[in-house]
Structures are given as C-alpha cells and as structure tokens.
Amino acid sequence: MGDWLALSGKPALVIGAGGLGGASAVSLAAQGARVAVADFSEQNLEAVSRQTGGLVETIKCDLRDPQRCRDVVEEAAARVGVPQVFLHAVGRNVRRPVLDLTDADWQELLELNLSTAYWLGQHVGRLMVGAGYGRMVFVSSVSGLLAHANHAPYAATKGGLNQLVRVMAREWAGSGVTVNAVAPGYIETDLTKDHLDKDGNREGLERLVPAGRLGVPAEVADAVTFLASDRAGFITGQVLYVDGGRVLV
C-alpha cells in the first residue's frame, strides 16, 4: 500500500500532535513518510513518538507568532527535509453564545485556528512552489458550513480557512502544489471529549449523523493520507467532509 500511495521517504510536516494531527502523523509514518510533528504539548508529542516507535521527529513550540511559525518550518526542513507534505491540524473551540464571548475569546481563536494556518501555509507554500511539488492539507470542520449555535469564532475561522485553502490552491496549482482541506464532523478526540461526556451530548450528536455514530481519528487520518499522496495529484481546492453524512441533513 505504501508504494501505491507513493509516500515512502517523503518529508512531511504535521502541525498538531493531538487527536487528528497525531493520528495523521502516525498514518503518514506508517506509509514511510519522514515525519516531523510540532505541538505545544510535550505529552502529545511523546504519544505520537511512542505510537510510531520513535520514527517521527518532534518539535515543541508555541506557534502564536509568525516568525516562530517560519522557524518551525525551517527546523523541520533541517531535520527531515524540505516538506513535500504539510498538514495543519491545530485548533480550539469556545462553546458560548455570541453575546457571552469576550474580545480575548475572538482574538485567541482567530490567531490559533486561522492565523497559524496562514503563517505556516505561506512559508511552506513558498518552499513547495520553489520545488515544483507539494501536498498541503488543512483540518477544517463541518462548522465551516453549518451554522452551529455557540460556535461563532470557531465557525468563522473554519469558514475562513476553507476560503484560504481555495485561494492557495488556485495560486499554486500551476506549480505542482495541491491544497485541500478535510472537514471532520463529530469525532471522538481530546478536543471534544469533555463536551461529549456531559448532558447527553454524545447521544444527541449521534442522532444528527445519518451514519448513526461518531467518527474516530483514524478515519480522518485516512482521508489526510490520501490527499497527501500522489494518488490525489489532480485534486486541489477541495473541502472533503469526513462526517458520516452530517452536512446532508
């Protein structure tokens, strides 16, 4: 299968070692990619390293600064090679009504969810365009399309991310670089666990999914791995919903 996906030996930079990023880093490494994974959490980084038998390079960092984002890209390039595969999988949600949100809520989510995607994507894109090849994937969400209550900053950043992906894809398509997003529905991750475990939220969300269940990180990682492969070379500017049919209803 590794030969079919043509990922063996390709340098990959994964931003985010938590649920979806971590699962994707493990999947890419399993296909033979040379993976560097960056995260603020030492615990998340150690978990990914353990799952891959130490095959990934780990970079502990705080990305809420444009220069630090560029530095992380350069550090990954020095350790595994100039990225041919890039995944942005960091994000956070604040579940409160618009009228209850603070200025800090808005600024923090905008910076983490969207600005880091721009800063990192711009620098990785520059390297990929220069090399004439690249596969870029960003983790979006069904919230970028659906109008979920109590999700305003998160939804706004994911909707903005979808458009950022489309513009990058258009500008770089002629340079051999594809840019896509995966948009998960309700997935069991550390980001969603506390919310799912209270007030019957899990059961309520399952009823909204035509497939009748929540997803797991490996199902999102499979989609990421495909889009990162040479088999997806003519796919760009797309948002792939991995949601059990959630956006259909």
Active-site positions read 154
Among all chains, which residue has been given the structure tokens 């296909």?
Answer: 31
Q: What is the distance between the alpha carbons of residues 182 and 56, in angstroms, rounded to a whole number?
A: 22
CB atoms under 10 Å from CB of 9, counted, come to: 11
Of 72, 164, 150, 45, the closest CA to residue 115 belongs to 164
The rounded Cα 214 to chain-centroid distance in angstroms is 18
Report helix, strand or coil for 241: strand
Q: What is the distance between the alpha carbons of residues 8 and 5, in angstroms, rounded to a whole number?
A: 8
Of 78, 230, 242, the closest CA to residue 145 belongs to 242
